[in-house]
Amino acid sequence: EPEVTQTPSHQVTQMGQEVILRCVPISNHLYFYWYRQILGQKVEFLVSFYNNEISEKSEIFDDQFSVERPDGSNFTLKIRSTKLEDSAMYFCASSEPTFNTEAFFGQGTRLTVV
Amino acid sequence: DAKTTQPNSMESNEEEPVHLPCNHSTISGTDYIHWYRQLPSQGPEYVIHGLTSNVNNRMASLAIAEDRKSSTLILHRATLRDAAVYYCILRDVSSGNTPLVFGKGTRLSVIA
């Protein structure tokens, strides 16, 4: 069964460093999303991406965040200068280019900022 | 965003049916009702969705009230693997594939 793949599974970084979280969505999907989940809290929407541009973003997704689809398979989330409060589980999701279809989520990347 | 209300937690015995309620009294005509679940240490997983009619799939059934102000996710026979947080989400489709907005969900415990 096709799945969304995220790497690395766990990343530790020092405060102020840049990190790139990587995702390989399901191959025929055209909608891509990033979510985060701080430990013990709810899953929060960050950004959605379609047709090579951001289609929607939340208040959390400020200038420190950016997304990119550098090639035909990868979808990345970059955090320019990490803060302690960026420590969270980050989930990538993708869905087909059809109306109201289900989203498939990856297993997540646990980001720890020290 | 239209909001949903779910109990914080529920408990079920293994192999018994489970009915997970969700209230969405401010639902609009373009809101679909989606259910996702999150198993421990995993990403969310799609369960089922519907608009007005009851829906069945291999995982669960979704019963939607006639006035659409509430719905119930039914797991016909709970297993230990069904222990998860279940999210009821309203998705407005009037402007395309809008992102899913997760609430706190219902934490389902299954007792052997």
User: A80-109: per-residue pLDDT in tens?
Assistant: 999 999 999 999 999 998 878 899 999 999
Q: Minimal Cα–Cα distance from A40 to chain B, Å? A: 10
pLDDT of res. A38? 97
Q: How many Cβ atoms from other residues are within 10 Å of residue A60's Cβ?
A: 15
Taking an 8 Å cut-off on Cβ atoms, the answer to whether B100 and A45 are in contact is yes
- d(Cα B107, Cα B38) in Å, to the nearest integer? 9
Give me chain A's average pLDDT, please.
95
pLDDT of res. A72? 78
Taking an 8 Å cut-off on Cβ atoms, the answer to whether A44 and B93 are in contact is no
The arithmetic mean of pLDDT across residues A50-67, rounded, is 95
Q: Output the CA–CA distances (angstroms, integers) from residue B44 to A41, A52, A62, B47, B88, in the order listed.
A: 13, 24, 24, 9, 12
B91 vs A: CB within 8 A: yes
Strand partners, B86: B37, B106
- Is a pLDDT exceeding 90 seen at residue A60? yes
What does the pLDDT look like over B65-96, one tens digit per residue? 999 999 999 999 999 999 999 999 999 888 77
Give me chain B's average pLDDT, please.
94
Q: How many Cβ atoms from other residues are within 10 Å of residue B32's Cβ?
A: 17
Q: Minimal Cα–Cα distance from A70 to chain B, Å? A: 22
- d(Cα B47, Cα B57) in Å, to the nearest integer? 8
Tokens of residue A3, six digits: 């799945």
Candidates A43, A50, A102; nearest CB to B46:
A102
- d(Cα A21, Cα B95) in Å, to the nearest integer? 28
Q: Which residue of chain A comes nearest to B31, CA vs CA?
A: A100
Place of tokens 């019963």: B63
Q: Minimal Cα–Cα distance from A109 to chain B, Å? A: 10
- Is a pLDDT exceeding 80 seen at residue B97? no
- Is a pLDDT exceeding 80 seen at residue B1? no
Taking an 8 Å cut-off on Cβ atoms, the answer to whether A56 and B99 are in contact is yes
